[in-house]
Structures are given as structure tokens and as C-alpha cells.
Amino acid sequence: MTDPYRLTTASGTYANPSVDPNAETIGKPLPVGEPLPVVTRSRVARTLLWMVLVISVVGNMVASYTASTPLHLASGAVTALCLTGLVVQGLRGRR
């Protein structure tokens, strides 16, 4: 498991306090040369799709109780689009 609070060098590797005197450690020694997790566009898109999906599902539930048909249909359409996007991303990730 990676620690998001570890300091890194400009090259993307973890800072080594024995080599870099400016590096600080918190807790145990840092592993040298371990690759950092990369945030890609697909990970950001997946996170945003999940967030919009949850919001649209909640909006859809609220709209179904208040009998607001246009809001109910709009949030249902957004929910369907988010689900479609997540399925497409999942299928593309398997290749």
C-alpha cells in the first residue's frame, strides 16, 4: 500500500534521506525507486462519472417522491448516461 504523504523527488521516485539531505521521513524509512501511482484521465473521468451517478440517482429518487416529471426524466437520463460511460470504460479497460 502506498503512502500519499511521502515526499518525492522531481523524477517521481521516493526521496531517499541517505542520498538527499533535504528529504524528510515520517515513520519508517522510504523505499527507494518505488513507482508513484499515476492519476490518469480515465481515473479522473471514472471518479467524476461515479460522483454524477450518485447525485443523479439521489435526484431521481427525490423527484419521484415529489412528482416532478421533468426533473425525474432529466435525472434518469443523466443516470443512464453515467452508467453507459462506466460500462464503456470498464469494457475498454479489459483490452
Q: What is the pLDDT of residues 22-76, one digit of tens each?
A: 455 455 555 666 665 677 888 899 999 999 999 999 999 988 888 778 888 999 9
Give the contacts of 22 (CB within 8 A, at least 6 positions apart). 15
Instruction: Give CA–CA dist 78/38, Å, rounded.
Output: 29
**Phi/psi at 14 (5° precision):** -65, 145
Give the contacts of 34 (CB within 8 A, at least 6 positions apart). 2, 13, 14
pLDDT band at residue 93, thresholds of 50, 70 and 90? confident
pLDDT band at residue 11, thresholds of 50, 70 and 90? low
User: Helix, strand, or coil here: 8?
Assistant: strand
The 10s digit of each residue's pLDDT in 43-53 is 899 999 999 99
Instruction: Give CA–CA dist 77/74, Å, rounded.
Output: 5
pTM for the structure as a whole: 0.59
